[in-house]
């Protein structure tokens, strides 16, 4: 366990460590010796499960200040912080069962643009649940159509709005093959991504929830159609009379993307690890369809002069088509003897 020293927390009214009119912690980087993570190593710590943790700034004066806001703070991709709940979560794809630490990087930038970057180590005891695998990426949203301009010198009618672009389809979930066995108090989970041909090796000490993710990605939303432009007003220039222009038609909404298919998941459980079965959850449903883009509004007609006919309003654009939800992947869970040394 890391020792916890007496710290000065950044609070309003703290004269040296915070500005009274701003929520930003105004500490100059040149006064910080290092950043580190304060956590209790005896707490349950495993990949994907939040644990209590705080980022601490150790000053050259030996004072320690708890970082209470995420502004201008960044960390490496293998850890995330929730400054409200004061918790952190580890992410990773370990390639060996012997790995029990994650080296993380912490960076803070001050108001002068100076940055301090330090590393710290989180040690895992694996005594917590696991959520492994990945969902397919969500499809990108279609861009909205541009609005039509008002009537100009070439045409008195408003220009039609552009149609919204179609949303992209969600990506399919990957396929996985998982082998689970026990050695002592530990479950060993060998996970092979058979779609992209990579392997991860996880552990759990004791029986906890084990979630396998292979969902299809959600479809992207269609872009909204642009509004039609306004027609020019009727006018008289010298001896020339000009009629009011019609409003431009609204652009059509883009079609939504389809949800991706869920990945196929096969789980082979060694008989000595069958106690994990009630705690095993497989999430490989298809992705949700995206929502269609709305048609743009028709443009307003120009105003007529006395005695002139009323011009026409532009037609509203058509809404796009909704996407289709993706299909669920297949699931096969079986208890069957195998040689664990083939997966170490």
Residue 85 and residue 111 in one domain: yes
Q: Which domain holds residue 40?
A: 29-125
Separation CA 49–CA 38 (nearest Å) = 17
Structure confidence at residue 234 (pLDDT): 87
Same domain, 87 and 137: no
Domain count, the chain: 2
pLDDT at 22: 36
The predicted-structure confidence for 223-253, as pLDDT tens digits, reads as follows 999 999 999 998 888 888 888 999 999 999 9
pTM of the model: 0.82
Residue 14: pLDDT band (50, 70, 90) is: very low
| Residue ranges of E strands in the chain | 32-39, 51-59, 64-66, 73-75, 79-82, 87-90, 101-109, 115-123, 130-133, 176-183, 186-193, 198-205, 210-213, 235-237, 240-242, 265-269, 280-283, 331-335
Beta bridge partners of 197: none
| Separation between Cα atoms, residue 27 and residue 239, nearest integer Å | 73
Strands 265-269 and 176-183: parallel
Q: Do both 142 and 117 map to the same domain?
A: no
Residues 310, 297 share a domain: yes
Average pLDDT of the chain is: 90
Domain-embedded: residue 5: no
243 and 265 in a single domain? The answer is yes
pLDDT digits (tens, 9 = 90+) for 277-336: 999 999 999 999 999 999 999 999 999 998 888 999 999 999 999 999 999 999 999 999
Q: Is residue 250 part of a domain?
A: yes
What is the C-alpha separation between 83 and 81, in angstroms, rounded? 6
SS3 content of the chain, % helix, strand, coil (to 5): 5, 30, 65
């Amino acid at each position: 366990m890391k020792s916890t020293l007496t710290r000065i927390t950044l609070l309003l009214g703290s004269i040296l460590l915070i500005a009274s009119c701003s929520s930003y912690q105004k500490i100059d980087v040149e006064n910080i010796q290092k950043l580190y993570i304060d956590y209790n190593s005896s707490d349950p710590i495993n990949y994907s499960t939040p644990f209590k943790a705080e980022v601490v700034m150790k000053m050259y004066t030996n004072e320690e200040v708890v970082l209470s806001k995420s502004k201008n703070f960044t960390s490496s991709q293998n850890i995330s912080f929730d400054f409200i709940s004061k918790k952190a979560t580890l992410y990773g794809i370990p390639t060996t069962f012997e790995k029990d630490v994650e080296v993380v990087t912490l960076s803070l930038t001050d108001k002068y643009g100076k940055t301090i970057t330090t590393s710290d180590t989180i040690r895992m005891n694996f005594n917590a649940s696991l959520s492994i695998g990945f969902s397919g990426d969500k499809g990108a949203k279609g861009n909205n159509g541009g609005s039509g301009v008002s009537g100009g010198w070439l045409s008195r009618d408003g220009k039609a709005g552009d149609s919204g672009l179609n949303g992209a389809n969600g990506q399919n979930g990957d396929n996985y093959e998982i082998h689970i066995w026990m050695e002592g108090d530990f479950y060993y989970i060998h996970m092979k991504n058979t779609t992209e041909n990579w392997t991860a090796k996880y552990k759990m000490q004791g029986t906890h929830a084990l979630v396998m993710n292979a969902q299809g990605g959600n479809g992207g939303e269609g872009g909204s159609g642009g509004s039609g432009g306004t027609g020019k007003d009727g006018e008289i220039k010298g001896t020339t009379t000009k009629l009011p222009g019609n409003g431009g038609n609204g652009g059509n909404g883009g079609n939504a993307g389809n949800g991706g298919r869920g990945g196929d998941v096969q789980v082979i459980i060694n008989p000595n690890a069958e106690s994990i079965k009630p705690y095993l959850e497989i999430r490989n449903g298809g992705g949700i369809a995206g929502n269609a883009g709305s048609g743009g509004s028709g443009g307003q007609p120009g105003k007529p002069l006395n005695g002139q006919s009323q011009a026409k309003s532009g037609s509203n654009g058509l809404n796009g088509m909704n996407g289709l939800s993706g299909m669920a992947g297949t699931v096969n869970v079986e208890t069957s003897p195998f040689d664990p040394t083939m997966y170490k």
